[in-house]
């Protein structure tokens, strides 16, 4: 599986608090292509990935972070 098999689209919402711009929300959509036989592994990894990510754990109290997975079979 090469780097073209994993792509993420990331969007965020920034709001003004007083005179300061603050990141409020981050949305991540993972696009992942793997062989069908790896789908179960992908699903398991996706379910646990956030709770094992140092960046997510560091930011989650201050920023609403959501993820979605768009899986496609790699032929």
In this prediction, residue 75 carries a pLDDT of 79
Instruction: State the total domains in the chain.
Output: 1
CATH number at residue 40: 3.30.300.20
3-state DSSP assignment of residue 42: helix
Could you list the pLDDT tens digit for every one of the 75 residues in the chain? 666 678 999 999 999 999 999 999 999 999 999 999 999 999 999 999 999 999 999 999 999 999 999 999 987
Domain region containing 40: 3-73
Q: Tokens 């007083």 sit at which residue?
A: 18
Alpha carbon distance 6, 4 (integer Å)? 6
Per-residue DSSP letters for 36-74?
GGGHHHHHHHHHHHGGG-HHHHHHTTTSEEEEEEEEEE-
In this prediction, residue 64 carries a pLDDT of 97
Both tokens of 50, joined, read: 């956030």
């Amino acid at each position: 599986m090469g780097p073209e098999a994993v792509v993420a689209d990331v969007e965020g919402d920034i709001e003004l608090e007083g005179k300061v711009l603050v990141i409020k929300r981050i949305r991540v959509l993972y696009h992942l292509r793997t062989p069908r036989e790896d789908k179960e592994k992908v699903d398991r990894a996706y379910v646990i990935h956030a709770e094992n990510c140092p960046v997510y754990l560091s930011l989650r109290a201050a920023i609403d972070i959501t993820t979605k997975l768009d899986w496609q079979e790699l032929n």
